[in-house]
Amino acid sequence: MAEAERIIGTPDTPDGDDEQTAAAGAPAGSGADGGPGEAGADERRAPEPPRTGRGRRIAVLFAVAVFAYALDLVSKLLVVSRLEGHAPIRLVGDLLELHAIRNPGAAFGFGAAFTIIFTLIAAAVIVVIIRLARKLYSFPWAVALGLLLGGALGNLTDRIFRAPGVFEGEVVDFIAPKGFAVFNLADSAIVCGGILIVLLSFRGLDPDGTVHKD
């Protein structure tokens, strides 16, 4: 068949038919010469540029968490070995002392009857932070979540490994300001992280780096 067409030839097609055929083959809503219609379609199909920097933000989150956790762990080991069972150490007169106690409740000694519940809450917070890290593109949020994660891990370690038993362990507290509850560095990290999150929320900054205005 191809050989026959080569010998016989094909009839000429008028220019008008060529233009109609070209126009029929062109995408709807676009000009044959690549006019504004075609450009608009390309703009609609153009993918958004990929966001970068998530890996660095996640690294910041876990670096802050590891630092806060290590600082809390080392401080508690020192307190248990050198301060527990001894008289409080005064740092700033009567305003600030180091006084080792065991706390079965939440931060600052609240809720001593709900040790297991606070343990489960701390574990849930850790899971939520790790899941949220997948959408993290904000440096301030990375620092805030890192503080929360490190503090939650610090107190959860006490809940699991200290007496009287697994998930019922008492947290080691030792920072005792005058007229205030005794707390530890993990509590401080949690409070600082929470305050930073509140400030970021007031500014309209989301964990994914977007800024919204209500």
Query: Per-residue pLDDT tens for 114-129?
Result: 677 878 888 999 999 9
Please tell me the pTM assigned to this model.
0.73
Q: Which residues are catalytic?
A: 173, 187
What is the secondary structure of 137-201 as a DSSP string? --HHHHHHHHHHHHHHHHHHHHHHHSTT-TTTPPEEEEEEETTS--B-HHHHHHHHHHHHHHHHH
Query: Per-residue pLDDT tens for 155-206?
Result: 999 999 999 888 889 999 999 999 998 999 999 999 999 999 999 999 999 9
Of 76, 126, 64, nearest to 101 by C-alpha is 76
In degrees and rounded to multiples of 5, residue 84 shows phi and psi of -65, 130
- Give the Cα separation of 23 and 166 in Å (integer): 76
